[in-house]
Amino acid sequence: MQIPPPQNGLVTLIDQRHKEVAGRKPRPHMGASTLGHPCDRWLWLSFRWAVIEEFEGRILRLFRRGNNEEATILADLELAGVKVETTQAHFTFGGHVSGSADAIVSNVPEAPKTRHIAEFKTHSEKSFNGVAKDGVRKAKPEHWVQMQVYMHGAGLDRALYVAVNKNDDTYHIERIHYDKDAAEAAIERGRRISEADRMPEPVAGASPAWYQCKFCPALTFCHETKLTREVNCRTCAHSTAQSDGFWHCGVWNDAIPVPAQRLGCTSHVIHPDLTPWQPVDSPDGVIGVWEIDGKVEMNGDPEAGGRTSFDLINSQAPF
């Protein structure tokens, strides 16, 4: 067996620093870019910060490349006579659903009088070839839904999808028609899932081998441990996502600011859908009580006799 070549220390350091700078701060809202995802459960888990997707430094650098590409695409559109009216057009749809389109443009050659939402995506060669062959709606349904939601928010009936092949800089550009029913259904889905107190069922056919599951960040949670590793206000049984876009704490009877949501407090009790343990009636409605391996455990503020959620989670076998 051949000894592998040593890893380049500078590359390792660059990627490590990218991870450190990125940190672990999932977005506070349910983004329009996620609303075409096939699994209600993943949307709920990610919105609840119960499973936080983490990326290697190389992937974070790829994201950076995609972000940097936007300026180049905008320059090319303007070079061709397209008017860029605004960039990063932000839309809110009530509750916790919102998102930002890359741009709003006009003077597109095929329809010079029609304003368009513009969405820019970089692709690997395989991904690009799929979009070029089948169109964005079939090849990248999440991108198609994302544009439908943005068109709805902007009150426009056309979108311009600009795809770039990262291998050879080939462009694929499509004009997308507004589908009112699809846009409204996606927004309503986002509201329903974000405001749901209980975890939804997974995508049909869910199993560790199912193609939509085996590369999902929630694979371990859904098919193995059934236990979150995240302790924050959104994984707490006392917090509620309200229809006004705020989070409410039942212990403190107050709205929870986003910075506080990320930290949680000592009264944190693991949400019952985020643990495999059997719940037992609480003595006061504040302390959580679980049966774990035949033993009754109190979960909550240590000053009230509970064990912290950190302690309970970390007491389980490593996963």
Q: What is the pLDDT of residue 313?
A: 95
Q: Is residue 4 classed exposed, middle or buried when 0-12, 13-18 and 19+ CB atoms within 10 A define those classes?
A: exposed
Q: Which domain holds residue 87?
A: 14-194
- Which residues is 164 bridged to in the sheet? 122, 171
Q: Can you give the pTM of this predicted structure?
A: 0.91
Same domain, 82 and 161: yes
Ramachandran region of residue 160, left (φ > 0), alpha (ψ -120 to 50) or beta?
A: beta
Give dist(CA 141, CA 144) in Å, integer. Answer: 5
Residue type, 291: E
Same domain, 183 and 273: no
Looking up residue 67, the CATH number of its domain turns out to be 3.90.320.10
Same domain, 103 and 152: yes
Same domain, 20 and 95: yes
Same domain, 247 and 172: no
Residue 55 token pair = 């990326």
Per-residue pLDDT of the chain (319 residues; tens, 9 = 90+): 666 666 678 888 898 888 888 777 899 999 999 999 999 999 999 999 999 988 899 988 988 988 999 999 999 999 999 999 999 999 999 999 999 999 999 999 999 999 999 999 999 999 999 999 999 999 999 999 999 999 999 999 999 999 999 999 999 999 999 999 999 999 999 999 999 999 999 999 889 999 999 999 999 999 999 999 999 999 999 999 999 999 999 999 999 999 999 999 999 999 999 999 999 999 998 999 999 999 999 999 999 899 999 999 998 855 5
Q: What is the pLDDT of residue 20?
A: 82
Q: What is the pLDDT of residue 9?
A: 83
Which tens digits make up the pLDDT trace of 75-107? 999 999 999 999 999 999 999 999 999 999 999
Q: What is the pLDDT of residue 205?
A: 87
Same domain, 179 and 293: no
Which tens digits make up the pLDDT trace of 275-300? 999 999 999 989 999 999 999 999 99
Same domain, 239 and 190: no
Q: What is the pLDDT of residue 196?
A: 98
Q: What is the pLDDT of residue 55?
A: 87
Same domain, 162 and 307: no
Residue type, 281: D
Q: What is the pLDDT of residue 4?
A: 64
Tell whether 127 is covered by a domain: yes
Number of domains making up the chain: 2
Which tens digits make up the pLDDT trace of 60-74? 898 898 899 999 999
Alpha helices in the chain (DSSP H): 9-22, 40-47, 57-79, 125-134, 136-139, 141-154, 180-194, 219-220, 258-263, 309-314
Helices 9-22/57-79 angle, 10° precision? 80
Compute CA distances 277 → 24, 27, 72, 226, 268, whole Å.
Answer: 27, 29, 52, 9, 16
Give dist(CA 245, CA 42) in Å, integer. Answer: 20
Phi, psi (deg, nearest 5) at residue 289 = -130, 130
Give dist(CA 47, CA 32) in Å, integer. Answer: 12
Same domain, 130 and 72: yes
Same domain, 245 and 180: no
Same domain, 46 and 186: yes
Q: What count of residues does the chain have?
A: 319
The SS3 assignment for 292 reads strand
Could you tell me whether strands 30-31 and 247-249 are parallel, antiparallel, or unpaired per DSSP bridges? unpaired
Q: What is the pLDDT of residue 3?
A: 67
Q: What is the pLDDT of residue 5?
A: 63
Same domain, 187 and 305: no
Asked if residue 106 lies in contact with residue 85, where contact means CB atoms within 8 angstroms, the answer is yes
Give dist(CA 232, CA 241) in Å, integer. Answer: 13
Handedness of CA 266, 272, 273, 278 (dihedral sign): positive
Tell whether 231 is covered by a domain: yes
